[in-house]
Structure 1
Amino acid sequence: MHPIPPLADLGRRIMVTGPSNAGKSTLAEAIGVRLGLPPIHLDQFSHLPGTDWQPRDIAEFHALHDAAILQEEWVMDGNYSAIMPQRFARATGVIVIDDHFVRRYARYFRRTLFQPNRVGGLDGGRDSVKWAMIAWIWKTRDASKYRRMAASSGLPVVSCRSMGELDQLYRAWSLPRPGQPG
Structure 2
Amino acid sequence: MHLSELGDRICILGPSNSGKSTLADAIARKRGLATVHLDQLFHLPNTDWEARPRDEFIALHDAAIAGERWVMDGNYSVCMPQRFLRATGLILLDISTPTSLLRYIRRTLFESERRGALEGGRDSIKWDMIRHIAVATPKNRNRYRAMLEQVDLPKVQLSSRQAIKKCFREWDLAR
In which range does the TM-score fall when normalised by the shorter chain? over 0.9
Helix, strand or coil at the partner of 2:92: strand
How far is 1:104 from its partner? 0.9
Helix, strand or coil at the partner of 1:176: coil
The 2-side partners of 1:21 and 1:116 are apart by 15
* Aligned equivalent of 1:68: 64
* Aligned equivalent of 1:97: 93
8 A contact 1:98–1:163 mirrored in 2: no
TM-score between the two structures when normalised by the length of structure 2: 0.96
CA deviations over 1:89-123 (Å, ceiling 9, x no partner): 00000000021111111110111122232100011
The 1-side partners of 2:63 and 2:112 are apart by 28
* Aligned equivalent of 1:170: 168
* Aligned equivalent of 1:8: 4
* Aligned equivalent of 2:16: 20
* Aligned equivalent of 2:108: 112
Matches within 5 A, 1:121-136: 121-136=117-132
8 A contact 1:39–1:75 mirrored in 2: yes
The runs of 5 or more residues in structure 2 that have no matched partner are none
Structure 1 stretch displaced more, 129-138 or 111-120: 111-120
User: Do the aligned partners of residues 50 and 116 (structure 1) sit closer, same or farther apart at CA in structure 2, a change above 3 Å counting?
Assistant: farther
Corresponding residue pairs, total: 173
8 A contact 1:13–1:92 mirrored in 2: yes
Helix, strand or coil at the partner of 1:141: helix
Over the aligned positions, Cα root-mean-square deviation in angstroms equals: 1.0
Structure 1 stretch displaced more, 113-122 or 66-75: 113-122
8 A contact 1:49–1:123 mirrored in 2: yes
The 2-side partners of 1:53 and 1:102 are apart by 23
Helix, strand or coil at the partner of 1:140: helix
8 A contact 1:18–1:78 mirrored in 2: yes
Residue 83 of structure 2, aligned match among 87, 98, 109: 87
The 1-side partners of 2:17 and 2:64 are apart by 23
CA deviations over 1:30-65 (Å, ceiling 9, x no partner): 000100101100000000111111111111011000
Percent of aligned pairs sharing the same letter = 53
The 2-side partners of 1:133 and 1:141 are apart by 14
How far is 1:70 from its partner? 0.4
